[in-house]
Structure 1
Amino acid sequence: MLPATRRALTHRVAVGQAEGRTPSLVAAVVRDGRPVWTGSRSMIEGHAPAADTQYRIGSLTKTFVAVLVMRLRDEGRLELTDPVARHLPDTDGADGAVGVTIGQLLAHTSGLASETPGPWWERTPGALRPELADILGPDPAKHAPGRHYHYSNPGYALLGAVVEKLRGMPWGEVLATEVLRPLGMDRTTLLPQAPAAGGFAVHPWADVMVPETVQETGRMAPAGQLWSTAADLSRWAGFLAAGRDGVLSAGTVEEMRLPAAPPQAVDPDGGYGLGLQLLRRNGRQLVGHTGSMPGFLAALWVSVEDGTGALALANCTSGPAVSAVAADLLAITVEAEPVFPAAWRPAEDIDPTLLELAGPWYWGTSGFALRVRAGGELHLAPLTGQGRGSRFHVEPDGTWTGREGYYAGETLRVVRRGDGSLSHLDLGSFVFTREPYDPSAPVPGGFPGWH
């Protein structure tokens, strides 16, 4: 980092700590999966927390649980369309839980209640709710499944229980074995391990504070139990941007980053994927999550396009705007030191039949360009910048599947004539031809020709 960038980042942390009236605040900026800057400030001069100091991260825990669920999906152990009762028969009789799917739980579209029945789960021992029925209560359904985005902490308790059922061990052990150890995140734990920050409640109208009590949350732990550090979460930011072979593929992590819930009218710049919050800020699309538990606040955001992430952790129940701090740290970095694009280089080997597809195509009279990328991926985009476009990856049968936008999941087929010459492209029944309404291609409905 340039000195001016470092100073701007340090200043933002200082402002966040002072204005938020938090005992301490630690932050980091991540690029290409590694921390390039860390900073912190505390109320005691000279005793700022280190990047290895644990803080409770609250609902950032949900991103880890979602990865465990997606691993099971990729292994074929479950489908996102599965009713949760298929894997947790104990929920079958719960009013409102019938028909709720795994995918709806991940995206907070299940319609289940935001919180458990009393007492307040974040502040009471988890042993008070030993059964799943105790976290759902007699009336858990607040909306019809799949219709609305409605954040549900009990929903993630159910997902943790699904992981335990299918793996045959506690979800925390599964997380440590399958995710944390492979990623080198040995300072992310269910319970605090020294050095760890203490959590505090700061009086909203007076400069005094008292320690918060830390509770083990039992069945609700998948909703917000984890403790972590700036150093470990820097690794997590890198993972959420690119995946990691052996943990979760880049393609599946990309799927998690896509919107999976209807947008909220109250927050047009927000959204939710599969276990990941989405945020539009400073003209950038961010993915990540925020978190809060008594005595602690956390936020982590990643801009995949910029190859940059940022996080902020505070040991205060309320006050510091950690989400804004993390987003601002990311923006400061990207604007002061934009990432250099990778050097262009030609493909080492591309199938000649793919080169035959490159160039202009027409859907009726609308012009499109099809480009062949170095990795063998096809990219179809409108010539004028107006209209539908997508990337396509090849399937074993020689067809292509759209990866985003209108054509996500749709099949692109290359159609040839009997002599092997190229006729047209069929994209979900849309015919793309080499010329507008090409008379030599089977355009549906017929066309009299140009005159």
Structure 2
Amino acid sequence: MDELSEDLELLPSTRRALRHRIAVAQSEGRAPSVVAAVARGGQVVWEGSRTSVEGHGPDGNVQYRIGSITKTFTAVLVMRLRDEGLLALADPLEKHLPGAGAGEVTIAQLLSHTGGLAAETPGPWWERTPGELRPELADVLGEEPFKHTPGTRHHYSNPGYTLLGSLVEALRGKPWEEVLRAEVLEPLGLDRTSVLPQAPNAGGWAVHPWADVMMPEPLEDLGLMAPAGQLWSTTRDLARFADFLLRGDERVLNVESVREMRTPAAPPEPGSADLGYGLGMQLVAHGAYRLAGHSGSLPGFVAGLWLSEADDVAAVALANCTSGLAAAALAADLVGIVAEAEPRIPKPWRPFAESDQVPLELCGPWYWGTSAQVVRLKADGSLELGPVGAMGRSARFRAEPDGSWTGLNGYYAGETLRAVRREDGSVSHLDLASFVFTREPYEAGAPVPGGVDPQGWRGIG
């Protein structure tokens, strides 16, 4: 067994803790069945299940309905359209889907649930009624589609993702499910994820809240609402999907685009423990861990998918009950169990490979006014800028062909860092978003905005 395999394999104590957690969840949540999986380093490292059927348990190949995790798949399709230049996230939906009835709401607002649209459709409960009851977008939105002014607050909207599904169909000229199959499911090898159930699949059940009895839930085709919650999947497929959401895949979306999906685009609701909402992804704090992913539910099913980028751990939990078992919380707990019991082992430090291109003249201490900063060159060729020994603005920068650097995260994301040189070619100072960084605090002779007192530094007296 190589070193990588040894790092990925879970300890027996960790495996038992995972098994115990899903057993408690199934028992206390009174779920007919629950199936779960944990992935680390891009591989499924644990699978488990519990069931009320004697001598039988589902495995990672059994389909369950995943509800609103479907939204993340729809968001991936929209991001592909953006990356191909067919739309901009700031575009009004009407530009590409005229007559949709959503006014000037933007694509980004729909992705992040900040478009102000209603949470649900008018009419009967859409999750338990056939899609034929809502044949047109007007039936999904109703006469008063807005509950808030677009862009003013986060308000979760299922109809908003119907609009995004219709946007995909309009720009691709094909049904949403066909585009999803060709552009996401097939390239990622998710052959057990589908719009309609494919055996082996679990049946959905409602468990009585005050008695240990249950009845089957109806399984409806959601029609136009499918992009908001139609999909069926398995823990193995969803573990693979979680890995894609962490690392990207050039056949579908690159790593920068999936990172953008995991970046907060909407603030959390007041009093919420959530960290906000990205572009088709929920962001939550679970104990010491910051997770990205999505929860899901439809009558008869609950689901949760979470990943921790810092720990390189993802977990999926699926159950076939309408309520009782909190699958999202269960999946988050599974991430925490592995991350706490077996902290991520960092990769070995390796020196920069191209020594003749190392910009050492940019490295080391710099000063923004009197604030001490340091620039470090990483082995991947990026720069890190951050404060010395104190909290402050930190960012990574990517090298550009013209010798400048582009901010990748934090306050300086998208901003340009330039090394300004003297006539002899040496670096005079760094210019970043109008800020001047010098080698000495308020260095004499440097182009410090506002100038430097000619008498220099002095004491009191």
Query: Which residue does the alignment assign to 1:376?
Result: 381
**Contact in 2 for aligned 1:83/1:99 (Cα 8 Å):** yes
Separation in structure 1 between the aligned mates of residue 324 and residue 281 of structure 2, nearest angstrom = 23
Query: Which residue does the alignment assign to 2:38?
Result: 29
Separation in structure 1 between the aligned mates of residue 403 and residue 178 of structure 2, nearest angstrom = 41
Query: Which residue does the alignment assign to 1:49?
Result: 58
Asked if residue 134 in structure 1 is aligned to residue 142 in structure 2, the reply is no
Deviation at 1:352, TM superposition (A): 4.1
**Contact in 2 for aligned 1:200/1:212 (Cα 8 Å):** yes
Separation in structure 2 between the aligned mates of residue 48 and residue 310 of structure 1, nearest angstrom = 19
Query: Which residue does the alignment assign to 1:58?
Result: 67
Query: Which residue does the alignment assign to 1:7?
Result: 16
Deviation at 1:268, TM superposition (A): 3.5
Alignment-mate amino acid for residue 193 of structure 2: T
Partner SS for 1:105: helix
Aligned residues: 447
Deviation at 1:236, TM superposition (A): 0.7
Query: 2:170 pairs with 135, 140, 165, which one?
Result: 165
Deviation at 1:324, TM superposition (A): 1.4
Query: Which residue does the alignment assign to 2:90?
Result: 81
Equivalence map 1:231-380=2 (5 Å): 231-350=236-355, 352=357, 354-380=359-385
**Contact in 2 for aligned 1:350/1:374 (Cα 8 Å):** no
> For each residue in 1:182-229, what CA deviation from the matched residue of structure 2 results, as whole angstroms up to 9, or x when unmatched?
111000000000000000000001110000010000000000000000
Separation in structure 2 between the aligned mates of residue 430 and residue 335 of structure 1, nearest angstrom = 40
Separation in structure 2 between the aligned mates of residue 388 and residue 350 of structure 1, nearest angstrom = 29
Separation in structure 2 between the aligned mates of residue 162 and residue 397 of structure 1, nearest angstrom = 37
Alignment-mate amino acid for residue 356 of structure 1: E
- RMSD after superposition: 1.0
Deviation at 1:394, TM superposition (A): 2.1
> For each residue in 1:395-438, what CA deviation from the matched residue of structure 2 results, as whole angstroms up to 9, or x when unmatched?
33332221111111211111111221101111100000011111
**Contact in 1 for aligned 2:428/2:438 (Cα 8 Å):** yes
Query: 2:428 pairs with 423, 428, 431, which one?
Result: 423
Query: Which residue does the alignment assign to 1:390?
Result: 395
Separation in structure 1 between the aligned mates of residue 235 and residue 383 of structure 2, nearest angstrom = 38
Deviation at 1:71, TM superposition (A): 0.6
Separation in structure 2 between the aligned mates of residue 395 and residue 148 of structure 1, nearest angstrom = 36
**Contact in 1 for aligned 2:293/2:305 (Cα 8 Å):** yes
Q: Which 5+ residue runs of structure 2 have no aligned equivalent?
A: 1-9
Alignment-mate amino acid for residue 45 of structure 1: E
Query: 2:122 pairs with 113, 117, 120, which one?
Result: 117
Asked if residue 16 in structure 1 is aligned to residue 25 in structure 2, the reply is yes
Query: Which residue does the alignment assign to 1:174?
Result: 179
Alignment-mate amino acid for residue 257 of structure 1: R
Partner SS for 1:165: helix
Identical aligned pairs, as a percentage? 64
Query: Which residue does the alignment assign to 2:418?
Result: 413
**Contact in 2 for aligned 1:58/1:226 (Cα 8 Å):** yes
**Contact in 1 for aligned 2:264/2:275 (Cα 8 Å):** no
Alignment-mate amino acid for residue 89 of structure 1: P
Separation in structure 1 between the aligned mates of residue 305 and residue 21 of structure 2, nearest angstrom = 16
Separation in structure 2 between the aligned mates of residue 232 and residue 285 of structure 1, nearest angstrom = 23
> For each residue in 1:248-287, what CA deviation from the matched residue of structure 2 results, as whole angstroms up to 9, or x when unmatched?
0001111110100022103143310000000011211100
TM-score (norm 2): 0.95
Separation in structure 1 between the aligned mates of residue 231 and residue 286 of structure 2, nearest angstrom = 27
Alignment-mate amino acid for residue 12 of structure 1: R
Alignment-mate amino acid for residue 233 of structure 2: S
Separation in structure 1 between the aligned mates of residue 394 and residue 16 of structure 2, nearest angstrom = 41
Q: Which 5+ residue runs of structure 1 have no aligned equivalent?
A: none
> For each residue in 1:164-197, what CA deviation from the matched residue of structure 2 results, as whole angstroms up to 9, or x when unmatched?
1111101111111111111110000000000000
Alignment-mate amino acid for residue 30 of structure 1: A
> For each residue in 1:95-136, what CA deviation from the matched residue of structure 2 results, as whole angstroms up to 9, or x when unmatched?
xx2110000000000000000111211111101211111101
Alignment-mate amino acid for residue 29 of structure 2: G
Alignment-mate amino acid for residue 94 of structure 2: A
**Contact in 1 for aligned 2:267/2:275 (Cα 8 Å):** no
| Stretches of 4+ aligned residues off by more than 6 angstroms | none
TM-score (norm 1): 0.97
* Greater CA drift, 412-421 or 232-241: 412-421
Separation in structure 2 between the aligned mates of residue 182 and residue 169 of structure 1, nearest angstrom = 18
Separation in structure 2 between the aligned mates of residue 243 and residue 212 of structure 1, nearest angstrom = 36
**Contact in 2 for aligned 1:278/1:285 (Cα 8 Å):** yes
Separation in structure 2 between the aligned mates of residue 351 and residue 123 of structure 1, nearest angstrom = 65
Separation in structure 1 between the aligned mates of residue 399 and residue 135 of structure 2, nearest angstrom = 48
> For each residue in 1:125-151, what CA deviation from the matched residue of structure 2 results, as whole angstroms up to 9, or x when unmatched?
101211111101110111111110000
Partner SS for 1:89: coil
**Contact in 2 for aligned 1:179/1:247 (Cα 8 Å):** yes
Partner SS for 2:384: strand
Query: Which residue does the alignment assign to 1:214?
Result: 219
Separation in structure 2 between the aligned mates of residue 164 and residue 264 of structure 1, nearest angstrom = 32
Query: Which residue does the alignment assign to 1:156?
Result: 161
Separation in structure 1 between the aligned mates of residue 193 and residue 167 of structure 2, nearest angstrom = 21
**Contact in 1 for aligned 2:62/2:202 (Cα 8 Å):** yes
Deviation at 1:350, TM superposition (A): 4.5
Separation in structure 2 between the aligned mates of residue 364 and residue 336 of structure 1, nearest angstrom = 44
When residues 121 and 406 of structure 1 are mapped into structure 2, their CA distance, relative to the original with a 3 A threshold, is: same
Alignment-mate amino acid for residue 39 of structure 1: G
* Greater CA drift, 411-420 or 160-169: 411-420
**Contact in 2 for aligned 1:217/1:225 (Cα 8 Å):** yes
Separation in structure 1 between the aligned mates of residue 390 and residue 384 of structure 2, nearest angstrom = 13
